[in-house]
Structure 1
Amino acid sequence: MSEIKIITPAELEAKLEAGEQLEIVDVREDEEVQMGMIGEAKHIPMNEIPANLDQFDKEKEYIFVCRSGRRSENVCHYLQEQGFKVVNMTGGMLEWTGEVVFK
């Protein structure tokens, strides 16, 4: 299994503050994202990813986020096997110190 690229919460926050256009996907459950999520993130729960592959573009790189970084890592392995460019945010929202929004 090939390595998954990673990004730390601090690195991601710095990229967002620099105005970079990033594709961020939060794979937590509905009740988890109600506690706050990264404003630029799109919410697709982990178990709905396979049914939503048409929402992903193989030319773009996606950063996946969950609570601790484990579920998003699993999603990254799955999508990388499908030919997508993926990055896992290590530490997840537990280590995110940036702003959050409530959707």
Structure 2
Amino acid sequence: MKEITTEELQEQLKTGAVLHMIDVREDDEVAQGMIPGAIHIPLGELLGRLDEIDQAKSYIMICRSSGRSGRACEFLEDQGYDVTNMVGGMLDWHGEVK
């Protein structure tokens, strides 16, 4: 499984890189703040919302500590998606949130 640190992701965002991010946390967790530009698809809804994820794009998966995003990566990789897990999750995120 590919991984990216919170610091690496923050640097890429600062340089203006176009990134596709999916936050798989629950509603109450994302209400506390999400990385700007991320879309919210709770882990439990991922299977039913695959039509919202373009297989031609690469995605960075985000959750609280990187456990659920890791499971999301495993599932999506099995479906043929190009995904990267943000290790440390939002607990390690020190960048902007919205």
Q: When the two structures are superposed, what TM-score results if normalisation uses the length of structure 1?
A: 0.94
The offset of 1:56, in angstroms, is 1.1
Cα offset, 1:100, TM superposition: 0.5
State the 1:77 CA deviation.
0.1
Which whole-Å CA distance do the structure 1 matches of 2:37 and 2:53 have between them? Answer: 16
Please point out which of 45, 49, 52 is paired with 1:52.
Answer: 49
In the alignment, structure 2 segments of 5+ residues that lack a partner are none
Report the alpha carbon displacement of residue 46 of structure 1 after superposing the two structures with TM: 0.4
CA distance in 2 between counterparts of 1:58 and 1:44 reads 16
User: How large is the Cα RMSD of the aligned pairs?
Assistant: 0.5
Matched position secondary structure for 2:91: helix
The alignment status of 1:96 with 2:90, answered yes or no, reads no
Percent of matched pairs sharing the same residue = 50
What's 1:81 paired with? 78
Choose from 61, 72, 78 the match for 2:69. Answer: 72
Task: Determine which of 20, 45, 53 is the counterpart of 1:23.
Answer: 20
Deviation at 1:58, TM superposition (A): 1.4
Could you tell me how far apart the structure 2 residues matched to 1:69 and 1:81 are?
18
Matched AA of 2:71: N
1:7-63 deviation line (CA, Å, top 9, x unaligned): 000000000000001000000000000111101100010000000111111111000
Between the two proteins, the alignment pairs up a number of residues equal to 98
TM-score (norm 2): 0.98
